[in-house]
Structure 1
Amino acid sequence: MRNLKILFSYLGAYRRDAILGVFFVTAETALELFIPVIMANIIDVGVPAGDINYMLLQGAYMLVCAALSLVLGLGYARTSARVASGLGANLREAEYKKIQTLAFGNLDNYDASSLVTRMTTDITVIQNAVGNGFRPMVRGPVTLIVGLIYALMLSRPLATVFAIILPVLAIVLGAITYRVSPLYRQLQTSMDHLNGVVQEDLTAVRAVKAYVRTEHEEAKFDTVNTELAGTATKTFGNAVLNLPVFQLSMYVAALSILWIGGHMILAGKLGVGSLTGFMSYVLLIMNSLMMISNVFLLLTRALTSVGRIAEVLDEEPFIANPAGDLAIAAPADGSIEFRDVSFKYRADAAEDVLEHIDLRIESGSTVGILGGTGSGKSSLVQLIARLYDATEGAVLVGGHDVRDYDLATLRDAVGIVLQKNVLFTGTVRENLQWGNPQASDDELLAACRAACVDEFLDRIGGLDGELGQGGAGVSGGQKQRLCIARTLLKHPRVLIFDDSTSAVDMATDAKIREHIARISDTTVLIIAQRIASVMDADRIVVLDDGRVHGVGTHEELLAGDNIYQEIYASQMEFARNADAGDGSDDGCANDPFSSVPGGSPLEGGERHA
């Protein structure tokens, strides 16, 4: 019942069309049901009396009823199409807007493929149910009720047949609906799985071809495709069981009425015209029951989809703006402070990702953040822009808790180049203007120079060059530099680089750092894997297993922090080996493939793509 209320609540401006549609179908049905009464009068009154004028008059009434039914049917078709398309558009818009309000923590609960399915397939199911089911949804009950009334008016003894058949059909329909309802949810979940595999394959098509994994991916697709086909077969196989049951009931009802009616005619208790008219109502009533049955199945599937959409619409954002006018407009400066901060991505997680972080970063300083994989570097900086909220403790920017700021203002003041670089379909200009929609060409080019984008800008068509979907037209390093330029255009108080130069060569990395160092009054946080990227920072923070292991300058950490010493030693050793070249006689002791059985895959042995 709640899902039906949700459905009606999103009709919006199309409620008027829905009401008109109900009126059109009701009037059309009433007129069609009146035709058998006219036909019975012609047979029982006009034919025995041989009154041609009476029969012509009744025939004219039938033509008028048919013509009006046609006009009303056309009116219904128009209104139902508007209602179906309008409802689908409203639901899509509402769900899309809701997704935009959700925090990262909310979105972690959904696969991207599932959200796509909910906004496409599920809403299409609802539109089809409204478009195809609107008429039978109204016509079925009206036909049933009015048909039973007319049938009782013609002959009460014959109408008792329906008193036996209707309860049986209701029980059967209830059993089928109860059986099919959970299967529809399984069907949509299988569709999620299929969309997930297709989305992943299309996104990673270059890797699939490069590693010659086409057969492996085809096998994955075949698995989810078979799952979907099997679920669909089982679901619709159960759903169509209503058809033979209703057909059997119609035949039993027709035979019973003909047998009872024949005896009544022989006994002089019933006219032939009345029996003929009654048989018309038998067909109408049974067809109405069939319509009601199909509507139930349509509604069952549609309400399953409404439930899936409602899950997203009912999701409460984990992160929200302060109530009323309590939100602080903007940070006064770029200072950052972590006060006994602990964090985990899920409330039921066994362990914290970050534990008891106490750290203060002065406004305008440059701070490097180092640590092994999984040490919590990205998690730490995401708390600053309030992409996630700290589980315990407080994160302060500009001297105030980030939870006291207006979200949009805070995120405008904190520019973050995420670890996963994202570009959008469109030109270089359109992507850069995400940082500042009002930026002039001179500002765009200045940001490009600071991020070393000018080195390849002309080769990709300049500011008006098309990047392709997801930035497919540029390399990984070029994509990183474009994302850096986009963030620089925000002129933020805090600038965060989350391992955003990992695909850039050392010389370019040094140039970018040199350009960023010239930016004044901006706090810069650099997450990096290379010590060379952060060794000139004012301070370097070393994280280990979610805790602060050490804080200091390059020289201080090199003198007193064992983790920093290990990272430095390993990187310097790697650099020395790289400088020494591949021609050493040490038996390839430093060959990264030396531990692989059969030696390096590039030297002899069987080659595999």
Structure 2
Amino acid sequence: MLRLFRYARQYRALIALVMVLILMQSLAELYLPTLMADIVNIGVVEGKTGYIWEMGGLMLAVTVVGAIVSVLASLYASKISSGFGRDVRSRVFSHVEEFSLHEFDKIGTASLITRTTNDINQVQQVLMMMLRLMVMAPMMCIGGIIMALYKDAELTLVLLVALPVLALSVWLIVRKGMPYFKAIQKKLDRLNLVLREGLTGIRVIRSFNRTEHEKDRFVDANRDLMDTAVKVNQIMALMMPLMMLIMNLSTIAIVWFGGLRIDNGAMQVGDLMAFIQYAMQIMFSLLMFSMMFVMVPRASASATRINEVLDLQATVKDSTAAAVGEKPAVRGVVEFVDVSFSYPGAEKPALEGISFTANPGDVTAIIGGTGSGKSTLINLVPRFFDAAEGAVRLDGKDVRNWTQEELRQNIALVPQKAVLFSGTVADNIRYGKEDATDEEIRQAAETAQALGFVTEMAEGFDSMLSQGGVNVSGGQKQRLSIARALIRRPKVYLFDDSFSALDYKTDAKLRAALKPETADATVIIVAQRVSTVMDADRIIVLDEGQIAGSGNHRELMESCAVYREIVASQLSEEEIA
């Protein structure tokens, strides 16, 4: 957890100010019992009313000062902890944005969300607590012991017995509860995962009548979290009554032995009253420590999880060869040179020995059966993954030697699963080009065959889309995703099965409209449908991660058995002829 607190360095001046304010508050609270003792010993016993008013006024002034510095300390501690939380969240988010898909798969999206929100919040709360309590508690404890010794050294023997018993009790309880705090965060991850799946997959859940099943999953995860939280709270619930019992027994012992010392004339009544208050301050300082012991283990577990994210290095990152210099004009030639790729833990490569070239002005189509490696291949171009062997090149330069930003500026990807963001239709299309004009947006929508349904919406391009675009159909989402890619005017277009939700008529019209728009760019299309790829300049046939054939439709019908099988499974004999 201390490693994480390096993000609080910029608040050193404010932290020092909080320390000073808490010191002043502690001194004020330690001074009050002594003033009260003087009022009793001198003012009450000797009947000096003026002295009582004088000391009473001083006590009031000390209390006001203590209250003011306490409020200021809380204010600045809140500013420090809130700023720290904001900085860590920004750092985690920025770091996660650099992750490749490998890292996302390794940690999991649900866990990343929990770590960025709940875990950082836990550490933020503990930082605020530490600023207030970890400084005040030792000051009050040490100051209270000094003042108690000053009032009556022999009576402090009672504290010599009580304090070790109190400290041991706190340690035993915290030691028992610490493992549960770590378990709670993992079970919170699980609950977040189940909830996220249930909300994002609600259509599938309802269509398969699995609502009750998902409810049971959520109830099980929720109950598991609740059971663990109840166990740890039951353990921690013992702390307060146990501490109060020890404190009350200590008070009884102090009053008993203090009464004997007053009877012997070795102590005054006011000093006994002050001693009791100092004893309470000492024990309450230990209570503050116990509160820290409750929070710190959970925050420590959270800090470990946050550091795991920050320590995880992206496997895809800019190389030193990707130097910033004069940037030549990008043509868009994409080459695969003996490329192989394997997913972590896979028994065999997803791609093996892939070599081909896609040139500007040509449409290169990739077709193959499910699991043949089509999407994996297209994900290597924008460096979502890096090839294990061989090289993927753009204009003869290995994509690993381009900066990721520069590389992706020249590429527009339409993913297999169309992703839209909450906002207007225009905002989603403009996502491909921030400074796009209204006319450019309209032109891109028209080319993508989206203009018709957009203009029929109540507010046209200003119509709001829900998160994920759930208020439009699958085909409409795909067309808006294509419009978003078109408006970018890149040198390389990657269409990852982006026409699957379109009917044949719309598919044909869209491909016809794309030709003039992409005439000077490299177009790589991944498709399942033969009708989508038949007119491509070149078709790459993948089978179990290897190229089974390459050529145009007519050539492949003559030379590639895998392609003939795919065609025969989709087209009638008349259509093939």
Offset of residue 294 of structure 1: 0.5
For 2:70, the equivalent position in structure 1 comes to 73
How far apart, in 1, do the equivalents of 2:572 and 2:172 lie? 72
User: Which letter does structure 2 place at the counterpart of 1:532?
Assistant: S
Pick aligned residue for 1:512 from 491, 510, 513: 510
Which digits, 9 at most, give the CA deviation of each residue in 1:47-84, with x for residues without a partner?
44433333333222212211211211221232233223
Offset of residue 547 of structure 1: 1.5
For 1:168, the equivalent position in structure 2 comes to 165
Offset of residue 331 of structure 1: 6.6
User: Which letter does structure 1 place at the counterpart of 2:248?
Assistant: Y
Pick aligned residue for 1:205 from 192, 202, 206: 202
The reply on whether 1:59 has 2:38 as its aligned counterpart is no
The reply on whether 1:391 has 2:388 as its aligned counterpart is yes
Offset of residue 327 of structure 1: 4.7
Q: Could you say if the C-alpha distance between residues 45 and 223 of structure 1 is closer, same or farther in structure 2, counting changes exceeding 3 Å?
A: same
Contact 1:4–1:303 (Cα < 8 Å) also in 2: no
User: Which letter does structure 2 place at the counterpart of 1:269?
Assistant: A
For 1:440, the equivalent position in structure 2 comes to 437
Pick aligned residue for 2:493 from 492, 495, 507: 495
For 2:339, the equivalent position in structure 1 comes to 341
For 1:473, the equivalent position in structure 2 comes to 471
How far apart, in 2, do the equivalents of 1:487 and 1:225 lie? 41
Offset of residue 386 of structure 1: 0.7
For 2:107, the equivalent position in structure 1 comes to 110
The reply on whether 1:301 has 2:328 as its aligned counterpart is no
Contact 1:133–1:298 (Cα < 8 Å) also in 2: no
Unaligned runs of at least 5 residues, structure 2: none
Pick aligned residue for 1:87 from 84, 89, 100: 84
Q: Could you say if the C-alpha distance between residues 232 and 358 of structure 1 is closer, same or farther in structure 2, counting changes exceeding 3 Å?
A: same
Q: Could you say if the C-alpha distance between residues 411 and 331 of structure 1 is closer, same or farther in structure 2, counting changes exceeding 3 Å?
A: farther
How far apart, in 2, do the equivalents of 1:81 and 1:575 lie? 75
Offset of residue 423 of structure 1: 0.5
- Superposition pairs for residues 143-292 of structure 1, below 5 Å? 143-292=140-289
Contact 1:342–1:392 (Cα < 8 Å) also in 2: yes
Which digits, 9 at most, give the CA deviation of each residue in 1:158-215, with x for residues without a partner?
2233333333333333333333233222212222222222222222323333333322
For 1:597, the equivalent position in structure 2 comes to none
How far apart, in 1, do the equivalents of 2:264 and 2:348 lie? 87
Which digits, 9 at most, give the CA deviation of each residue in 1:113-170, with x for residues without a partner?
2222222222333343344564333322211110011111112222233333333333
For 1:486, the equivalent position in structure 2 comes to 484
How far apart, in 2, do the equivalents of 1:525 and 1:182 lie? 52
For 2:372, the equivalent position in structure 1 comes to 375
Query: What SS is found at the alignment partner of 2:214?
Result: helix
User: Which letter does structure 2 place at the counterpart of 1:167?
Assistant: P
How far apart, in 1, do the equivalents of 2:358 and 2:168 lie? 70
How far apart, in 2, do the equivalents of 1:455 and 1:421 lie? 19
Which digits, 9 at most, give the CA deviation of each residue in 1:190-244, with x for residues without a partner?
2222222222222232333333332222111111111111111112222233223
Offset of residue 325 of structure 1: 6.6
Contact 2:440–2:487 (Cα < 8 Å) also in 1: yes
For 1:592, the equivalent position in structure 2 comes to none
For 1:25, the equivalent position in structure 2 comes to 22
Pick aligned residue for 1:322 from 306, 312, 319: 319
Unaligned runs of at least 5 residues, structure 1: 577-609
How far apart, in 2, do the equivalents of 1:159 and 1:314 lie? 50
Q: Could you say if the C-alpha distance between residues 40 and 337 of structure 1 is closer, same or farther in structure 2, counting changes exceeding 3 Å?
A: same
**TM value normalised by structure 1:** 0.89
Q: Could you say if the C-alpha distance between residues 205 and 54 of structure 1 is closer, same or farther in structure 2, counting changes exceeding 3 Å?
A: same
User: Which letter does structure 2 place at the counterpart of 1:537?
Assistant: A
Offset of residue 245 of structure 1: 2.8
Contact 1:330–1:405 (Cα < 8 Å) also in 2: no
Q: Which has the larger displacement, 231-240 or 123-132?
A: 123-132
Contact 1:334–1:364 (Cα < 8 Å) also in 2: no
- Superposition pairs for residues 553-572 of structure 1, below 5 Å? 553-572=552-571
Contact 2:187–2:224 (Cα < 8 Å) also in 1: yes
Q: Which has the larger displacement, 447-456 or 243-252?
A: 243-252
The reply on whether 1:462 has 2:477 as its aligned counterpart is no
For 2:308, the equivalent position in structure 1 comes to 311
Q: Could you say if the C-alpha distance between residues 575 and 68 of structure 1 is closer, same or farther in structure 2, counting changes exceeding 3 Å?
A: farther
How far apart, in 1, do the equivalents of 2:280 and 2:167 lie? 17
Aligned residues: 573
Contact 1:331–1:397 (Cα < 8 Å) also in 2: no
Contact 1:330–1:410 (Cα < 8 Å) also in 2: no
Contact 2:412–2:485 (Cα < 8 Å) also in 1: yes
Offset of residue 262 of structure 1: 3.3
Contact 2:339–2:352 (Cα < 8 Å) also in 1: yes
For 1:407, the equivalent position in structure 2 comes to 404
Query: What SS is found at the alignment partner of 2:27?
Result: helix
**TM value normalised by structure 2:** 0.93
For 1:545, the equivalent position in structure 2 comes to 544
- Superposition pairs for residues 407-426 of structure 1, below 5 Å? 407-426=404-423
How far apart, in 2, do the equivalents of 1:548 and 1:150 lie? 85
